[in-house]
Chain A
Amino acid sequence: EIVLTQSPGTLSLSPGERATLSCRASQSVPSSYLAWYQQRLGQAPRLLIYGTSSRATGIPDRFSGSGSETDFTLTISRLEPEDFAVYYCQQYGRSLTFGQGTRLEIK
């Protein structure tokens, strides 16, 4: 099973700042099979990015994804108040696994 490790566990930033979230895989993940989700408190997760860098329908362009093999990054260029949430990366290998999440909180 491929293990995804996200860092940092918690990220404290202010609105308007840039956020960089990391997802590291224990084995190489094909770029087509890496996705990112946002989960606001009390809500279901929402797909943000799939295929490492493709934005899902309706996702603002301040969200971008990059990376390859074992190192992937989600970047939020300028934080809006609604962006403070928990973010998960997810991969498909022989099984489907998620990272443990990064909590993005208001500083």
Chain B
Amino acid sequence: SYVLTQPPSVSVAPGQTARITCGGNNIGSKSVHWYQQKPGQAPVLVVYDDSDRPSGIPERFSGSNSGNTATLTISRVEAGDEADYYCQVWDSSSVHPVVFGGGTKLTVL
């Protein structure tokens, strides 16, 4: 089955840029989505289809996808961005088509 690999943790100072990666075999050929999950809360979609933002998500959140790596970029990081972030794809060739990455804990220093 398809595997998505995320770094367990990323740390960044307030006001700086955070980049969270999601690795997968030829992931650039798939549509990648990103979710933010704060402690005790349900996940929230922050980027869909590689780089689109749902209504209400700040422009500071952006995404890119090419080759074997997709990236969620958070500009001008704020304390409120501290959360777990998960990438997700649909793998049509798999009997387990919905694949989540293991998640990345973003710490704002």
Tell me, yes or no, whether A binds B: no
Q: Which residues of chain A have a CB within 8 Å of any CB of chain B?
A: none
